[in-house]
Structure 1
Amino acid sequence: MTEDKTEFTQVDISQFYDITEEETEQQDDGIILTPNERALYEELMVYVRQKEPERVEILESRIRDLNQLASAIARFPSLLERHDIPGGIRTPQLLIDSLIKHQNSGDTTLQLPSKATLGKGYIVSKIHTFSSLTSLSQRVGAPEKLTQALQLETITMMFTLMAEDVYLNLINDAMQPMEFRREWALALLLLWEHRNDQTIESVAPVLQSVWSARRKLAPAFGTMMGTSELLLMSIQMDEQWIQFIKQKMGEQGVS
């Protein structure tokens, strides 16, 4: 019986897909701007080139810096896959168990994955960038609609940052069922991995409306525990907020 010495040539699987070189580079680097963020940025640049052309290179340089930062973070092991890292085997399930186990151990900074900590810094940098773009939009006389859209994107990023703390607090709440705490831990892993939370886009407009209404209020000191402020704020809100108050304020935790 003769030995089969057939040789095989390794083939890059990407050759079987219709992916351009530019798209491959974007996949390697990670997405730093969503399609909407990119559209707003490009629209603003039209006005910047006309009114303050000296700032074009500064803005483009900042976007390149964000791209490099995102690329570096993307090279860290995925939090949603099994990896053999220097400290041993790491799986999503082990990460979830660790999050629940160490939540009562004081400052958990050193317990968090490196990708989570670096990603938080990246989001802060992105928030600063879009906050600057919002101010620049006002200065160069861009349409108010564009300025408001840039501001909304900035606020949405801030809510994403806040969502991380919300998840950590929920995971830390021993009064909650373990099943829910594990689900929240998985949602947190997804947020850390993609630096995006699917619920933020739906709740961001509501939270922004609440915050905008709250900023217009002057505190009424007394013994009503904020009842007058809540009433005045609710008057400025839409039907969605009113229905929330009607349905949920009877629950002790919500109240």
Structure 2
Amino acid sequence: MYIFMGRQFRANKIHKTEEKMKTIQVFSETEELIISETKKMLQTSGDLEDIKIIEGTLLSLEMLAQSISHYPSLLNQQVLGKHSRSLETLVQNLCTHPGLNLLLNTPTKAVLGRGFTIAKMNFFILISYVCADYLHLCSGRDNIRKVIALNVFSIMAEEVFISIISDDKLNIDLRTKSGFLLAKIWEHRIYKGIEELEPILTDLWISRQSFTPSFGTMQGISEITSFCTGRNPMWLNFLEDSEFNEDILDALKEYLMGLSYEEMIKIEDYMEAESISSFNMSDLERVLEQSKSYPMNDYHDPREMYHFYVRRKNNAMFREKSCMRGPKSTIEKYIICYMLKHGIIAGNGN
């Protein structure tokens, strides 16, 4: 009888664990397909050593996901003695502990989940290296790059939402909506409910490579408007919004031109001093007297999108603290705030 009860207890425990496991999606269908095709490719080539590495990394990811899933759901209510926690209290706690204080008020599941996303990104980078060695057999290189980009985007979106939550100058409604969306990222490790963000920001990232800045008209918005609206119709509404201001324009210029606000001012001052109407990019480092603030090593590496965001975010934070001229936030933050305000993405507890 004791053994039976023990087995029943273990069965219930396993059942509950499986329920929790549903909150972490280890791989999407596209990712599963890439993994399957990579294994077949390696089996065809007879490279048993690489197969062993892939299998070992897969097992580690699955074990990590299982460990994370054992933590309570962030979306459900949890009661411990006289204490109760829910999605609403979590979001409230995030909004009242911004900045550095937020880190120590972040649920364990969220901290581990971020590591999981980075680990998964590194796994697909590993697969991309393997495919590079078998170009004649690998047909899904573009899909691999897109999967890496989606994982990078998830990490970046998490940081943008944190920056909104931590900004006590924004109204509490906007910060609360961001808190709900952040909790969903933490819970599922995929961007549930914010799918609208990915195409807008990633398309802009890809298309900025073809943007040719006209340094002779750096104060103008016409070329930027024409460029952006040609990518996504939402940009026209964003640029014509009543709250669109010089700060947002400068943040957008930084993004498209790949230069900091300070560097753009320096170029404009140089052009005025030299009485010239156009600027040659080959003279950039000579005029700046140093390398660019936002170096771009490899446009094809999706991680550059995150590096670019972090550098601009750090500069914006420095300007804010130092009361300096220039954008005080990134264009990503401004866009997401706009989308939240206008209900383009739904930030709620549902």
Distance 1:250 1:193 in 2: 35
After TM superposition, the score normalised by the length of structure 2 is 0.57
Give the conservation status (yes or no) of the 8 Å contact 1:220–1:228: no
Q: CA deviation at 1:30?
A: 4.4
Q: Please list, as runs of the form range in 1=range in 2, the aligned pairs for 1:74-223 lying within 5 A after superposition.
A: 74-84=69-79, 88-103=83-98, 105-141=99-135, 146-216=140-210, 221=215
Q: CA deviation at 1:91?
A: 2.3
1:42–1:209 Cα change, 3 Å: same
Q: 1:40-60 CA distances to partner (integer Å, 9 max, x unpaired)?
A: 210122112223332001001
Aligned residue number for residue 6 of structure 1:
none
Question: What are the ranges of 5 or more consecutive residues in structure 1 without an aligned counterpart?
Answer: 1-8, 16-20
Give the conservation status (yes or no) of the 8 Å contact 1:79–1:189: yes
1:46–1:176 Cα change, 3 Å: same
Distance 1:64 1:11 in 2: 27
SS of alignment partner, residue 182 of structure 2: helix
- Higher mean displacement: 208-217 or 117-126: 208-217
Q: 1:195-222 CA distances to partner (integer Å, 9 max, x unpaired)?
A: 1113554443443332122235566555
| 2:236 maps to 1:246 | yes
Give the conservation status (yes or no) of the 8 Å contact 1:156–1:200: no
Distance 1:128 1:211 in 2: 21
Q: 1:173-194 CA distances to partner (integer Å, 9 max, x unpaired)?
A: 3444433322221121111111
Distance 2:122 2:226 in 1: 32
1:137–1:180 Cα change, 3 Å: same
1:81–1:10 Cα change, 3 Å: farther
Q: 1:21-69 CA distances to partner (integer Å, 9 max, x unpaired)?
A: 9xx5994794311222111210122112223332001001001000111
Distance 2:121 2:220 in 1: 31
Q: Please list, as runs of the form range in 1=range in 2, the aligned pairs for 1:220-231 lying within 5 A after superposition.
A: 221=215, 224-225=218-219, 230=224
Give the conservation status (yes or no) of the 8 Å contact 1:29–1:71: no
Q: 1:97-129 CA distances to partner (integer Å, 9 max, x unpaired)?
A: 1111011x5352112111111111110111111
Question: What are the ranges of 5 or more consecutive residues in structure 2 without an aligned counterpart?
Answer: 250-350
Q: May I ask how many residue pairs the two structures share in their alignment?
A: 236
Distance 2:116 2:220 in 1: 36
- Higher mean displacement: 226-235 or 119-128: 226-235
Distance 1:145 1:209 in 2: 23
After TM superposition, the score normalised by the length of structure 1 is 0.76
Residue identity (%)? 23
| 2:59 maps to 1:64 | yes
- Higher mean displacement: 218-227 or 198-207: 218-227
CA RMSD of aligned residues (A): 3.6
